[in-house]
Amino acid sequence: MTHPPADPGALSPAEARALFRGGLVRPTSGFSRGFAQANLLAVPEDCAFDFLLFAQRNPKSCPVLGVLESGQLESELLAGGDIRTDVPLYRVYRDGALTEETPDVRPHWREDLVAFLIGCSFTFESALVDNGIAVAHIEQGVNVPMYRTALPAERAGRFSGPLVVSMRPIAADRVADAVRITSRYPAVHGAPVHIGDPAALGIADLMTPDFGTPVDVAPGTIPVFWACGVTPQAAVMESKPPLAIAHAPGHMLVTDARDLEYQVP
């Protein structure tokens, strides 16, 4: 049995991936401080162009950091790794239906799968914490809450679906700082898409997220919403490709790229 590390932030990306390959299953927020994390979506080669176009048309929710071509299992983002085992928990979709969650997708992997690595907002959380902005799901030891919205993503080919957002309650006097800090990371969702009233996004209840875990929203904080890399999974559910493999929400690929590589002045 693989045991959780005492300080996951001190692990190198390779060490974190080795733990996940060895069987550790837990959300990756707070792992490998200073290194970027990525969402995963792998689809058959004959769907890959449509998804690439979907990502290009929806850059806030689907910022592509890298692509592993069919037959490719590692890249400079996970040197010496294996995209089939190095995420702590995967989801397998068949014809749009979630059929399995598993820490190892080798039995389901096909040679024709193209894997897209998509920017994740966990990447900018270190910058928020370093600037004294509390991140509720880290402090509460849970997965980040994520919600389907009533806002449609822009359709591309066979892919369509709703925008998914992640939410972090931010102290009212630090919201402007959170916007400023995260806007410097456009490759990992960048600035928030909405601040305040969740009903404006079609979210009925913050305590019932569609993905992840609810967090306590402390008095004096305001819910702040960022575009989320689970948007591709919502598109898979609606568009129903024959096979898609993704990360379980909140269980990301810890990459070898440094956060600073995605920061702009």
Q: Please say whether the beta carbons of 182 and 128 come within 8 A.
A: yes
Written as six digits, the tokens of 219 are: 């008095």
User: How many Å apart are CA 33 and CA 127, to the nearest integer?
Assistant: 10
Residue with tokens 């819910």: 223
pLDDT in tens, 226-240: 999 999 999 999 999
Q: Please say whether the beta carbons of 263 and 119 come within 8 A.
A: no
Residue with tokens 């176009």: 53
In sign, the C-alpha dihedral spanning 127, 263, 200, 211 is negative
User: How many Å apart are CA 12 and CA 61, to the nearest integer?
Assistant: 27
pLDDT in tens, 66-112: 999 999 999 999 999 999 999 999 999 999 999 999 999 999 999 99
Q: Residue type for 69, please?
A: E
Number of Cβ within 10 Å of residue 26's Cβ equals 19
User: How many Å apart are CA 51 and CA 160, to the nearest integer?
Assistant: 10
Coil/strand/helix, residue 14: helix
Q: What is the dihedral of CA 125, 16, 5, 124, to 10 degrees?
A: 0
Per-position pLDDT tens, the chain of length 265: 577 788 999 999 999 999 999 999 999 999 999 999 999 999 999 999 999 999 999 999 999 999 999 999 999 999 999 999 999 999 999 999 999 999 999 999 999 999 999 999 999 998 999 999 999 999 999 999 999 999 999 999 999 999 999 999 999 999 999 999 999 999 999 999 999 999 999 999 999 999 999 999 999 999 999 999 999 999 999 999 999 999 999 999 999 999 999 999 8
User: How many Å apart are CA 164 and CA 210, to the nearest integer?
Assistant: 9
pLDDT of residue 128: 96
Average pLDDT, the chain: 96
Whole-model pTM? 0.93
Coil/strand/helix, residue 199: helix
Residue with tokens 């810890």: 254
pLDDT of residue 4: 76
